[in-house]
Amino acid sequence: MLSCPGSASKSQHQAVRDTLDVISGKWKLVILAMLLDRPYRFKELSRELGISPRVLSKELQEMEQHQLVRRTVCDTRPVTVEYASSDHGRSLLSVVQAMSDWGYLHHETIVGKKRSDDPAAKMG
Protein backbone atom coordinates (compact mmCIF):
# COMPACT_ATOMS: atom_id res chain seq x y z
CA MET A 1 0.00 0.00 0.00
CA LEU A 2 2.91 2.36 -0.07
CA SER A 3 6.57 3.04 -0.73
CA CYS A 4 6.59 3.17 -4.52
CA PRO A 5 6.36 6.91 -5.12
CA GLY A 6 3.65 7.99 -7.45
CA SER A 7 2.20 4.61 -8.12
CA ALA A 8 -0.34 4.62 -5.34
CA SER A 9 -1.72 7.98 -6.35
CA LYS A 10 -3.73 6.81 -9.29
CA SER A 11 -5.96 4.49 -7.34
CA GLN A 12 -5.78 6.63 -4.26
CA HIS A 13 -7.27 9.66 -5.85
CA GLN A 14 -9.90 7.41 -7.32
CA ALA A 15 -10.77 6.18 -3.85
CA VAL A 16 -11.01 9.76 -2.67
CA ARG A 17 -13.37 10.52 -5.51
CA ASP A 18 -15.51 7.54 -4.61
CA THR A 19 -15.79 8.74 -1.05
CA LEU A 20 -16.58 12.26 -2.17
CA ASP A 21 -19.41 10.93 -4.27
CA VAL A 22 -20.98 9.31 -1.25
CA ILE A 23 -20.60 12.22 1.15
CA SER A 24 -21.20 14.98 -1.37
CA GLY A 25 -22.96 18.15 -0.39
CA LYS A 26 -22.83 20.46 2.58
CA TRP A 27 -24.87 18.34 4.90
CA LYS A 28 -24.24 14.58 4.89
CA LEU A 29 -21.11 14.59 6.98
CA VAL A 30 -22.53 17.12 9.39
CA ILE A 31 -25.63 15.02 9.82
CA LEU A 32 -23.53 11.93 10.29
CA ALA A 33 -21.38 13.67 12.86
CA MET A 34 -24.48 14.24 14.92
CA LEU A 35 -25.79 10.71 14.48
CA LEU A 36 -22.45 9.34 15.56
CA ASP A 37 -23.12 10.96 18.88
CA ARG A 38 -26.66 9.72 19.31
CA PRO A 39 -29.83 9.06 17.31
CA TYR A 40 -31.91 12.04 16.31
CA ARG A 41 -35.42 12.61 15.12
CA PHE A 42 -36.19 14.34 11.87
CA LYS A 43 -37.29 17.58 13.39
CA GLU A 44 -34.40 17.62 15.81
CA LEU A 45 -31.93 17.49 12.97
CA SER A 46 -33.86 20.08 11.05
CA ARG A 47 -33.83 22.52 13.94
CA GLU A 48 -30.36 21.80 15.20
CA LEU A 49 -28.80 22.31 11.79
CA GLY A 50 -31.16 24.90 10.40
CA ILE A 51 -31.85 22.79 7.37
CA SER A 52 -35.15 22.79 5.51
CA PRO A 53 -37.26 19.62 5.54
CA ARG A 54 -37.01 19.21 1.80
CA VAL A 55 -33.24 19.17 1.84
CA LEU A 56 -32.93 17.14 5.00
CA SER A 57 -35.27 14.51 3.63
CA LYS A 58 -33.25 14.21 0.47
CA GLU A 59 -29.95 13.98 2.31
CA LEU A 60 -31.24 11.31 4.66
CA GLN A 61 -32.61 9.28 1.80
CA GLU A 62 -29.32 9.35 0.00
CA MET A 63 -27.54 8.37 3.18
CA GLU A 64 -29.95 5.49 3.61
CA GLN A 65 -29.23 4.38 0.06
CA HIS A 66 -25.56 4.32 0.86
CA GLN A 67 -26.35 2.47 4.07
CA LEU A 68 -24.87 5.13 6.29
CA VAL A 69 -27.96 5.56 8.43
CA ARG A 70 -30.88 3.52 9.63
CA ARG A 71 -34.40 4.86 9.73
CA THR A 72 -36.72 3.66 12.45
CA VAL A 73 -40.38 4.50 12.73
CA CYS A 74 -41.40 4.75 16.35
CA ASP A 75 -44.89 3.68 17.28
CA THR A 76 -45.67 6.83 19.19
CA ARG A 77 -48.51 9.25 18.80
CA PRO A 78 -48.03 11.18 16.72
CA VAL A 79 -45.58 8.97 14.90
CA THR A 80 -41.94 9.94 15.21
CA VAL A 81 -39.00 8.73 13.20
CA GLU A 82 -35.55 8.13 14.51
CA TYR A 83 -32.40 8.22 12.47
CA ALA A 84 -29.30 6.48 13.68
CA SER A 85 -25.88 5.74 12.27
CA SER A 86 -25.39 2.27 10.87
CA ASP A 87 -22.22 0.25 11.30
CA HIS A 88 -21.13 1.34 7.89
CA GLY A 89 -21.83 4.92 8.87
CA ARG A 90 -19.68 4.45 11.93
CA SER A 91 -16.87 3.35 9.70
CA LEU A 92 -16.78 6.97 8.57
CA LEU A 93 -15.89 8.02 12.08
CA SER A 94 -12.24 8.40 11.20
CA VAL A 95 -13.17 10.77 8.39
CA VAL A 96 -15.51 12.79 10.55
CA GLN A 97 -12.97 12.85 13.33
CA ALA A 98 -10.19 13.95 11.03
CA MET A 99 -12.34 16.68 9.56
CA SER A 100 -13.52 17.90 12.90
CA ASP A 101 -9.97 17.99 14.23
CA TRP A 102 -8.80 19.79 11.16
CA GLY A 103 -11.63 22.29 11.46
CA TYR A 104 -10.26 23.40 14.80
CA LEU A 105 -6.69 23.36 13.58
CA HIS A 106 -7.54 25.44 10.54
CA HIS A 107 -9.20 27.97 12.77
CA GLU A 108 -6.13 28.15 14.96
CA THR A 109 -3.77 28.32 12.03
CA ILE A 110 -5.66 31.08 10.28
CA VAL A 111 -6.32 33.10 13.40
CA GLY A 112 -2.76 32.58 14.55
CA LYS A 113 -1.34 33.67 11.21
CA LYS A 114 -3.63 36.70 11.16
CA ARG A 115 -2.45 37.74 14.60
CA SER A 116 1.23 37.66 13.86
CA ASP A 117 0.70 39.19 10.42
CA ASP A 118 -1.72 41.88 11.36
CA PRO A 119 0.00 45.13 12.35
CA ALA A 120 -3.14 46.05 14.25
CA ALA A 121 -2.46 43.08 16.48
CA LYS A 122 0.35 45.14 17.92
CA MET A 123 -2.51 46.99 19.51
CA GLY A 124 -2.46 50.71 19.86
Partner DNA sequence: CTGTATCCCGTAAGATACTG
Partner DNA sequence: CAGTATCTTACGGGATACAG
44 binds DNA (CB under 7 A): yes
In the list DNA, a copy of itself, none, the entry touching 89 (Cβ below 5 to 8 angstroms by class) is none
In angstroms and rounded to an integer, the radius of gyration of the C-alpha atoms of the chain is 19
Q: Which does 43 bind (CB under 5 to 8 A by kind): a copy of itself, DNA, none?
A: DNA
Q: Check binding of 86 to DNA (CB under 7 A).
A: no
- What is the per-residue DSSP string for the chain? --SSTTHHHHHHHHHHHHHHHHT-SSSHHHHHHHHHHS-EEHHHHHHHHT--HHHHHHHHHHHHHTTSEEEEEE--SS-EEEEEE-HHHHTTHHHHHHHHHHHHHHHHHHHHHHHHH-GGGG--
Nearer CB in complex with DNA: 44/95: 44
Q: What residues have CB less than 8 Å from 114, skipping those under 6 apart?
A: 121
For DNA, the binding residue among 7, 9, 61, 65 (CB under 7 A) is 61
34 is a site residue for DNA (CB under 7 A): no
Name the site residues for a copy of itself (rule: CB under 8 A).
Answer: 5-6, 8-9, 12-20, 22, 24, 26, 29-30, 33-34, 37-38, 49, 66-67, 88, 91-92, 94-107, 109-110, 113
- What residue ranges bind DNA (CB under 7 A)? 24-27, 41-44, 46, 51-55, 57, 59-61, 71, 78-81, 83
